[in-house]
Homo-oligomer: A and B are copies of this chain.
Amino acid sequence: MNVLIVYAHPEPSSLNGSLLDFIVKRFESTGHTVQVSDLYAMKWKPTLDADDFLNREPGVPFDAMRDSKRAYEAGQQTEDITREQEKLVWADAVVMQFPLYWYSMPAILKGWVERVYAYTFAYGIGEHSDKHWGDRFGEGKMAGKRAMLLVTAGGWKSHYSPRGVNGPMDDLLFPIQHGILYYPGFDVLPPFVAYKIGAGRVDADLYASLTESLEQRIDEFWTTKPIAFRPQNGGDYDIPALTLRPEIAPGQVGFAAHRSETTS
């Protein structure tokens, strides 16, 4: 299988750098082909702007959606964007690896999503009617591919627990797992999260335990059950309001209601 790792950490000698090497080797030694988009090493441009789109009509106001659609369909995107889209098409699986910065992904990775996820490539596709509201949330160009987050966090696990001050990790990752990965069709595997990770704080025991768990996750990557997000057009939602139908997870609100296994 083909694996794309989108990696956002500034320092190769960090724990993240070591874990990246580890997972690349493990995927390869178990028969898979890996490409890494090392965003810091590539000096990835994070800002989505008019410079991303070639041969724009002069004087026309910039509109991210309209410009993105035109450029994607006419082959007028910058080369760096096209290359990442080709990697996504090539991949059977995508791992996004990053340290949690201010409760979300680093800016450089957010900017990868904003620029690579072109209109009519990752969104704005499919019929919009009262039965179907675009090919998204379970449908889309990434359908049939798997994705997983590999995240390191400075805080303690309890700080990210269901009643922890930072909010539950599952909820913090929902906008990424549901809004960025499930949206264009990926099956999203449960995330791999390492807690209490800061400069120079990882001893040999913790490293051994992390790589042991990670090895298992990689070896089970193709058989792990994805998070059971509810397909938008599968009958659970009223269309076009896109609210859960009254009989689905009755009384539940919030992110967890969009996972079918969490109905109480």
Footprint of B on A, CB under 8 Å?
A: 10-11, 13-14, 40, 44, 46-50, 61-66, 101-104, 106-108, 110-111, 113-114, 117, 137, 154, 156, 158-159, 161-168, 171-172, 174-175, 178-180, 198-200, 232, 237, 240-244, 252-258
Contact = CB atoms under 8 A, between A and B. Distances in A.
A162 B61 contact: no
A253 B160 CA distance: 11
Contacts of A108: 46-47, 107, 111
A254 B256 CA distance: 9
Contacts of A110: 101-102, 104, 106-107, 110
A168 B255 CA distance: 8
A167 B175 contact: yes
Copies in the complex: 2
A138 to B, nearest CB: 10
Contacts of A237: 165
B255 A167 contact: yes
B40 A107 contact: no
A165 B258 contact: yes
A110 B161 CA distance: 24
Contacts of A103: 175, 179-180
A175 B243 contact: no
B101 A66 contact: no
A102 B240 CA distance: 19
A62 to B, nearest CB: 5
B167 A198 contact: no
A165 B232 contact: yes
A137 to B, nearest CB: 6
A65 B179 contact: no
